[in-house]
């Protein structure tokens, strides 16, 4: 926890500093608005006095202008903008107030008055807290309008962003939907997205992340959910939380803070998520593959059977929807509907994310045929998340599975499983290469957890593993991955280990090695793909590992094509 009492989620611990330095993660990106096609639709217009009152601020002088948008990046300020100056650890956003003014901003939210600028300034104690207060005020104004408005909160150790992206596409069939770009799921990103809500917004999908107990509680105070989705309790940020039980407590805050009578959407395959039912204030929708943690007397509302992949490695399954229907004697009968679904995105682990999003969309009125149609057309999600492309260099080419946005043991395991499944239906399987970076914030267990990932790669019979470092810490963790892989391979093969190149009976041992940086990994992949024309590469690591930079480099090659 930082000195102000709020935390920053995911690998973006420098989120506040990055935004304030004018080199932030926003760079003009905001929230999707399906109806208009605009990247940054206007918020509901507010006067300077209204804003000051909502954030308990003091107005330096009121120039009489109206505010129609909010930004923390002075480069994206424009006519009608309010610039929020966030002080960072290296650069102070207050240094850019005059830049925002020249860009057209009509006011600035500041922690101290900035000299030598004639822009209206609203002075508060804490600009991040004030940003949250202003976002809550915008939400409250929308709720005062007569037209229906629904907030859907989403959390989980893995799958939040994919579920959010799928749900955005589904709900856009039903009405105007606001959804964050990327993983804007912390105390800066969520209010910035909430400030995109306007009078015609029907749905707001709010991704909520946490690295400490209380984070989601704070976010739900900004955007109180009508519906909350809890996906899975894993071990992301284990070092920050201290235990998986604490992670479960943090994630449960999204259920505990539902509006009265709100709907809980819970994973019936996860015991810690299933236990959150004790906090549900109203109806519960259960989703899952097997319902192993479903409480007695309950039934799965959305589930999948016959999960497999097609010839293009897209997951296929039969989606089942169970609805409770009231009868004349006040008892409930259950109606089942089914539909075949082929996901436009890859990875069988995304079936669960699709089920969660579909459970909400179906509850809100979207039919199974429409759900299947949307899921089949959703081929792209947020950047660096299971994005598939063809990369061609001068002497080699390969298929890239770019899942490099972030990593924790659960998401890496899912990515490795997806790589192992790739090309399973092909007569000649591809040469599978896992390029893995470190996973951060795992605390005392980080050495073992990295070794476990290496061992998983060996057990899944990945052909080649490249663990990528970059500095002393990352290099040590890369070696832990390789050590785990080699130990697992030795346990399975003993003295009879053969390499993929000289083995033809399928009993092959994985080749594993370390790369000290992404340039070395780049060269290794180029050599591998030159030797093996049918190569598929999984790229997965925490944001700090820099693997997304390697993905951008590969995708910038002239012949790179999305698939």
Is 367 within any annotated ligand binding site?
A: no
Strand 81-84 with 107-110, pairing:
parallel
Q: Which of 375, 442, 457 is nearest to 406 (CA)?
A: 442
Q: Where are the beta strands (DSSP E) in 470-541?
A: 511-515, 535-540
Is 377 within any annotated ligand binding site?
A: no
CB-count exposure of residue 141 (10 Å: 0-12, 13-18, 19+): middle
Is 159 within any annotated ligand binding site?
A: yes
Is 559 within any annotated ligand binding site?
A: no
Angle at 542 between CA 539 and CA 546, to 5 degrees: 70
Structure tokens at 132: 């949250």
Q: How far is CA 266 from the centre of its chain?
A: 18
Q: From CA 196, how far away is CA 178, in angstroms rounded?
A: 7
Is 221 within any annotated ligand binding site?
A: no
Q: Which of 244, 239, 241 is nearest to 442 (CA)?
A: 239
Q: From CA 502, how far away is CA 510, in angstroms rounded?
A: 12
Strand 81-84 with 120-123, pairing:
unpaired
Is 305 within any annotated ligand binding site?
A: no
- DSSP-derived secondary structure letter, 107: E
Angle at 554 between CA 476 and CA 425, to 5 degrees: 90
Q: List, as own/partner pairs, every contact residues 301-306 make where C-beta atoms lie below 8 angstroms and the sequence separation is at least 24, other chains included.
A: 301/359, 301/363, 302/355, 302/356, 302/358, 302/359, 302/362, 303/268, 303/355, 304/341, 304/351, 304/355
The C-alpha torsion from 379 through 384 and 388 to 391, rounded to 10°, is 140
Structure tokens at 405: 């946005």
- DSSP-derived secondary structure letter, 520: H
What would the 3-class secondary structure string for 192-225 be?
A: HHHCCCCCCCCEEEEECCCCCCCHHHHHHHHCCC
Q: Which of 438, 491, 444 is nearest to 469 (CA)?
A: 438
Strand 177-180 with 31-33, pairing:
antiparallel
For the chain, what percentages of helix, strand and coil (3-state, to nearest 5) are there? 35, 20, 40
Largest Cα separation within the chain, whole Å, is 80
CB-count exposure of residue 204 (10 Å: 0-12, 13-18, 19+): buried
Is 160 within any annotated ligand binding site?
A: yes
Neighbours of 423 (CB within 10 A): 20
* Sequence ranges of the binding site: 156-162
* Sequence ranges of the binding site for ATP: 156-162
């Amino acid at each position: 926890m930082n000195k102000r009492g709020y935390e920053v989620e995911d690998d973006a611990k420098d989120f506040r500093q990055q935004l304030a330095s004018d080199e932030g993660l926003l760079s003009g990106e905001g929230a999707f608005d399906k109806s208009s096609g605009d990247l940054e639709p206007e918020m509901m217009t507010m006067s300077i006095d209204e804003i000051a009152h909502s954030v308990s601020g003091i107005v330096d002088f009121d120039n009489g202008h109206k505010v129609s948008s909010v930004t923390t990046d002075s480069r994206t300020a424009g006519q009608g903008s309010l610039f929020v100056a966030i002080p960072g650890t290296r650069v102070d956003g207050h240094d850019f107030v005059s830049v925002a003014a020249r860009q057209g901003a009509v006011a600035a939210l500041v922690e101290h008055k900035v000299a030598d600028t004639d822009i209206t300034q609203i002075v508060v104690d804490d600009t991040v807290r004030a940003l949250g207060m202003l976002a809550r005020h915008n939400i409250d104004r929308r709720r005062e309008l007569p037209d229906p408005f629904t907030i859907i909160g989403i959390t989980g150790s893995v799958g939040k962003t994919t579920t959010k992206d799928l749900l955005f596409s589904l709900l856009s069939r039903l009405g105007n939907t606001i959804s964050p770009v990327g993983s804007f799921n912390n105390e800066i990103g969520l209010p910035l997205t909430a400030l995109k809500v306007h009078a015609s917004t029907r749905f707001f999908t709010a991704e909520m992340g946490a690295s400490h107990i209380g984070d989601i509680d704070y976010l739900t105070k900004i955007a109180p959910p009508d519906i909350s989705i809890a996906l899975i309790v894993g071990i992301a940020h284990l070092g920050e939380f201290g235990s998986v039980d604490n992670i479960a407590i943090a994630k449960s805050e999204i259920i505990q803070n539902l509006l009265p009578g709100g709907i809980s959407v819970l994973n019936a395959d996860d015991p810690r998520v299933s236990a959150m039912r004790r906090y549900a204030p109203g109806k519960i929708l259960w989703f899952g593959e097997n319902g192993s943690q479903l409480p007695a007397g309950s039934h799965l509302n959305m589930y999948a059977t016959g999960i497999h992949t097609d010839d293009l490695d897209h997951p296929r399954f039969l989606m089942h929807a169970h609805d409770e229907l009231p009868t004349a004697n006040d008892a409930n009968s259950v109606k089942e509907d089914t539909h075949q679904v082929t996901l436009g995105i890859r990875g069988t682990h995304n079936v669960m994310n699709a089920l969660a999003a579909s459970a909400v969309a179906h509850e809100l009125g979207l039919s199974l045929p429409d759900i299947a149609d949307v899921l089949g057309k959703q081929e792209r999600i947020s950047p660096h998340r299971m994005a598939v492309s063809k990369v061609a260099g001068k002497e080699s080419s390969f298929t890239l599975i770019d899942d490099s946005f972030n990593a924790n043991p659960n998401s890496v395991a899912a990515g490795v499983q997806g790589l192992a499944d790739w090309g399973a239906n092909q007569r000649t399987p591809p040469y599978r290469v896992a390029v893995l970076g470190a996973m951060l914030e795992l605390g005392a267990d980080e050495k073992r957890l990295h070794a476990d990932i290496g061992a998983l790669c060996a057990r899944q019979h990945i052909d080649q593993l490249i663990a990528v470092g970059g500095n002393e810490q990352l290099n040590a963790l890369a070696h832990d991955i390789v050590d785990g892989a080699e130990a697992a391979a030795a346990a399975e093969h003993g003295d009879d280990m053969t390499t993929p190149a000289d083995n033809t009976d399928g009993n092959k041992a994985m080749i594993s090695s370390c790369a000290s940086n992404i340039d070395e990994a780049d060269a290794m992949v180029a050599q591998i793909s030159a030797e093996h024309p049918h190569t598929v590469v999984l790229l997965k690591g925490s944001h700090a590992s820099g693997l997304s930079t390697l993905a951008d480099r590969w995708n910038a090659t002239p012949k790179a094509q999305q698939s």
